[in-house]
Structure 1
Amino acid sequence: MNRVFSDWRFAWFLILLPVALFLPALPIDETRYLTVAWEMRLGGDALLLHLNGAPYSDKGPLLFWLINVAWLAAGLHVWIVRLGVLVASLISLVLLERLVRRLATDEADGGRALATRATMILAGILYFALFASAIMFDVVLTTCVLLALHGVLDLDAQRWRRGMLIFALGLGLGILTKGPVVLLDAGLVALFAPWWSVTARAHKARWYGAMLAGVVGGAALALAWAIPAALHGGPDYANAIFVRQTVGRVAKSFAHQRPYWWYFMVLPLMVLPWTLSLRAPWHAWRDGFAASKAARFGIAWFLPAFVAFCFVSGKQPHYLLPLLPGLALYFAQVQGDALARVRGRIFGALLVMLGSTLFAAPYAATHAAALPMLARLVQDGSLTPNALAVIGGIWPLWGALLALLGIVLIVHPRVHTQLRVLALAGAATASIGMLTLAQAVGPTVDVSATAARIKAAQDAGKPVAHLGWHHGLFGFPGQLTQPLQKVDLDTLYTWCAAHPDGEVITFYTKYGIPVKPELEIPYRLGRILVWRAADLCAGPRPVAPRDDEDETPSD
């Protein structure tokens, strides 16, 4: 027990624990996934996923199963789900350390130093820490990828049967989490194994046979859910899970379309503080590509999949999360060079600047009229009153903590040179940022009052419709037992005429309906609007809406 409490990973876990406990579910993705899990619980159907009463085919079922297990343990709370995801992130750190030690058994210390460096670098990556408790698929997928790669190392050790089983298990769970993308995240390491594995070079036929068997086994595990779900959901659902969400996402993404070079732009920001803090001579970075079996494994893990993701049209930063452990392994290899150093003062200076800005932001927001630059932004509509209210409500404490962390890294003569300190500083930066979000934005993303109103109306038999697609925003907060009907501008007034006693709700700003709503509730940087259907029928009609600038595509 003393070893657990003295482990730096326990400190990392404690730093991020408040985020898991206090950050509310964030729209639109997290709230949508909680609603899918709620409808699974409500209908008692663990096979066919539903959102707003209709089959939901965008993702696999594993995350929703795990959410329901968490709810069985501690009730219908967001915090228990976040805590479970944070535990999955901690498991990923443990799996990575063990993976690297297995790769570096020929080193004098059995790979302990390399494994510790790699794990610390991953833990300190700002984006990994930000997502450590996010109710998203990529965190769980990272754990599945690491499990699959332990199977690959079993193949490397010529434990063929065990390797095939673990590789298949990791791939199967990954497919059940987020679909065949796991084949890029974990499969390419095995495909390029002759570059890093003596066993793969010596036994190519057996290696690729075992690899193929693992892929088939993983697919069989996923099909054990997918085939019954497709039969239950019908032809459209079958087409969605077997075709649209695999071939379609690769050939032409349905959301988040960005140019091929986009990841090169965001990756340096994602892996802060290390882009500013890892120093090594050029030969260390160059030779690190082939310096050891572990380094080659890390490159084979990260680089081919990264290039493949660059040519997939749909791009989001969190799609790279399962590849970050491979990049951390390469960084750890480079840091093993005798001339490599860790220098955290530039990162500290960045934290001081960000902290000072965050500290001053509430004052600036409450005195925007007296500040010419902000006054112009307010005048042209770039800064709305709601945005100013949110910024003005930020506690200056958060900025002070961030700046203080930066000052310590700058002033203290030794801490900025320690990898462990920088890793924990990265986690602390993420924690402060997310707690700022929870304190300032949390109240504006709390839709429980609106959801309770919808629930009460539905229970009383009053018809309720949402103008525009609502992404299941109100399902879990209101624990709705009926679908919330969606209408668009073309069908709005027909619906209102048919349901004069009903209510219409929307959180979109694009429609510009010239009828005063019965109720306005702050939501994010805008408002949720509630009208009585009779008032809409009696009032003037809007012009055509603006472009869908506030439509949020599915993840």
Structure 2
Amino acid sequence: MLGKLWPILIGVAVVMAALVAMRPLLPIDETRYLSVAWEMWLSGDPVHLTKNGEMYTHKTPLLFVLINLVWLVTGVSEFAARLVGPACAVGMVAGTAMLARRLWPAENLGIRAALILAGFPVFLIYGSATMFDALLALGVLGGIAALWSIGQGRGGWPLFGLALAFGVYAKGPVILVHLMPVLLTMPYWAPNPPKTAQIAKGFGGALLIALALIALWLVPTLLTATPEFRTELLWTQSAARVAGGMAHDRPFWFLATLLPLLLFPWGWSIRLWYGFKGTWSDPAIKLCTIWAGSTLILFSLISGKQAHYLLPAYPAMALLFAHASIRAKSGSLAWVALLLIAAGAGAVGLGLIPAKADLAPLAPYWPLTAFAALCLILALLIWRLPSIPGHLLAGIGLTLGIHAIIATTGLYAAYDGQALATTLAADEAEGLAVTNAEYNAEINFLARLTTNVALTPDLPSLTAWAQTHPNGMIFGRIKENPLTAAPQQVFHFMAQDWGLWPATSLGSTP
């Protein structure tokens, strides 16, 4: 199977690299994470993460360490750093194929599962991003493989412990959300489940292995950290994600309403869903259903939620659809969705629908017309080709088409902070301050800053900073800014106008 899988992995890698090349480093997530990695590079400290010089406890260190390892080979490079996440996504495709072979050794579903996973636009978009979910998914895949082995009576608790530790290093204890429901329901889905006492004993041993490995990072981190850092790392940020109060608080039904988008294009095939008929007694189908369903339910119940949090469950859906595709006939309604997209994009591109102010970054609008034509072609491919190649081409084509719009319209410039960063880098020596903005170190890496940006949210703090940095530079959003003087320069970043003011501008401020 590996020989047949390599062309798929290479193809996915090429698509991922193209997606990275066609969009800027996106604020605020990608810019923030590369800035944290950059500060790790400057400090040489792989355990105490910082963001603009302040403690950063929202994520664990593995992604940042991997980026720094890449930089040891390539030198500090934005593009090289941005390939770490996509490399993990390619690993997801390989891991899904290998897991399919273990779940159904007689049915040769590995290639199908890999192609189906690669055809989800949501997987391609978030898998190509500098984020933690694809890295976490590798730990989840390892944990599921271990549980399947345990459920067949062959053991695998040490591997499960390694998977737990890897997941914590990748994104924290959230790996338990993905794996514990599958573990707790083992008596229901497993072909040869251990007894309850054996499961408890095995899990206890796996947990000890995980804790021992995590302690290699956590203990020295806590012993050398401030009390505030320890409290934030161990409790505050995790509790807030569950109970609310942090970013991304959304109602419980948020993810469910996104399912038509999240499962496109495969989930739009009614006949593919019919392929599950008569398969629900299959232990592997039960496992994958619990894996995918529990992830959706639990993240719906957690206050802080984002669509990309579900990325580690995408292999489960790819495996389910791969198994169903054996029995399903060709046919899909995904072409309907593509026609609707084509109609909307074409109407704006041809001027049939006037472009409102919020669509201004899409100018010039001719790429929308080209995108509409692409969607028509993809709709035809889904209608005429067999299910696997038709849906695969539609998913990849739609994703590339969306990114082509980003690359050829004002969207790229609207979210690209490089021009602002280059200008600020020249003034770093005299001091930089940001005002009227919740600053997430969006500029630190782009400008390769070696000193922190001062946070001055109001006029008194800004005045105090200017007195000690008379030749410094202030930047921030122009809207509702405490500075009344006209900015020296204006940049469009994060779809807003940002201004630059010399510290002496405070003399022009009432």
Alignment TM-score, normalising by the size of structure 2: 0.91
Instruction: Indicate how the Cα distance of structure 1 residues 464 and 181 shifts in structure 2: closer, same or farther if over 3 A, else same.
Output: same
Quick one: distance in 1 between partners of 2:338 and 2:166?
38
Structure 2 counterpart of 1:321: 311
1:505-533 alpha-carbon deviations (Å, 9 max, x no partner):
01363437432111111223222211122
Shift in Å at residue 102 of structure 1? 1.0
The structure-2 alpha-carbon separation of the partners of 1:217 and 1:408, relative to structure 1 and needing over 3 Å to count, comes to: same
Tell me the CA shift for residue 349 of structure 1.
Answer: 4.3
The 5-angstrom pairing of residues 109-508 of structure 1 reads 110-113=106-109, 115-160=110-155, 163-200=156-193, 202-280=194-272, 285=276, 287-288=278-279, 290-337=280-327, 340-344=328-332, 346-355=333-342, 357-358=344-345, 361=348, 364=351, 373-374=354-355, 377=356, 383=357, 388=360, 390-393=361-364, 396=367, 399-400=369-370, 403-410=373-380, 414-415=384-385, 417-440=386-409, 441-459=411-429, 462-467=430-435, 468-490=437-459, 491-507=461-477
- Aligned-pair distance for 1:216? 2.9
Q: CA deviation at 1:248?
A: 3.1
Change (3 A) 1:94 1:488: same
Structure 2: 5+ residue stretches without partners:
none
Secondary structure of the 2:102 match is helix
Question: How far, CA to CA, are the matches of 2:370 and 2:326 in structure 1?
Answer: 35
Q: Deviations over 1:282-304 (max 9, x none)?
A: 6x55644x231110110121222
SS state at 1:112 partner: coil
Task: State the AA in 1 paired with 2:397.
Answer: A
Deviation at 1:280, TM superposition (A): 4.7
After superposition, the CA RMSD in angstroms is: 2.7
Tell me if the contact between 1:55 and 1:237 (Cα under 8 Å) persists in the aligned partners.
yes
Residues in 2 aligned to 1:247 and 1:330: alpha-carbon distance in whole angstroms: 33
Instruction: Report the CA distance shift for 1:430/1:168 in structure 2 as closer, same or farther (over 3 A).
Output: same
TM-score (norm 1): 0.84
Q: 1:372 to 1:453 in 2, by over 3 A?
A: closer
User: How far apart in 1 are the matches of 2:52 and 2:3?
Assistant: 47
Q: Specify every segment of 5 or more residues in structure 1 that has no aligned partner in the other structure, as ranges.
A: 365-370, 378-382, 541-555
> 1:85, CA displacement in angstroms?
2.0
Q: Report the CA distance between 1:401 and its aligned residue.
A: 5.1
Q: Give the conservation status (yes or no) of the 8 Å contact 1:126–1:426.
A: yes
Q: Using the alignment, how far apart are the partners of 1:335 and 1:501 within structure 2?
A: 66
C-alpha distance 411-43 of structure 1, shift in aligned 2 (>3 A): closer
SS state of the match for residue 130, structure 2? coil
Residues 503, 530 of structure 1: 8 Å contact kept: yes
Is the Cα contact below 8 Å between 1:103 and 1:111 reproduced in 2? no
For 1:316 and 1:256, locate their aligned partners in 2 and report how far apart those are by CA, in whole Å.
Answer: 7
Query: How many matched pairs?
Result: 507
Contact 1:123 1:129 in 2 (8 A): yes
Shift of 1:54: 1.5
Q: Which of 514, 523, 534 matches 2:484?
A: 514
Separation (CA, whole Å) in 2 of partners of 1:452 and 1:118? 44
How far the C-alpha of 1:104 sits from its partner, in A, is 1.8
Q: One-letter code of the match for 2:202? A: A
Give the distance between the partners of 1:134 and 1:62, measured in 2 at CA: 16
The equivalent of 1:57 in structure 2 is: 57
- After TM superposition, where is structure 1 displaced by more than 6 Å over at least 4 residues in a row? none
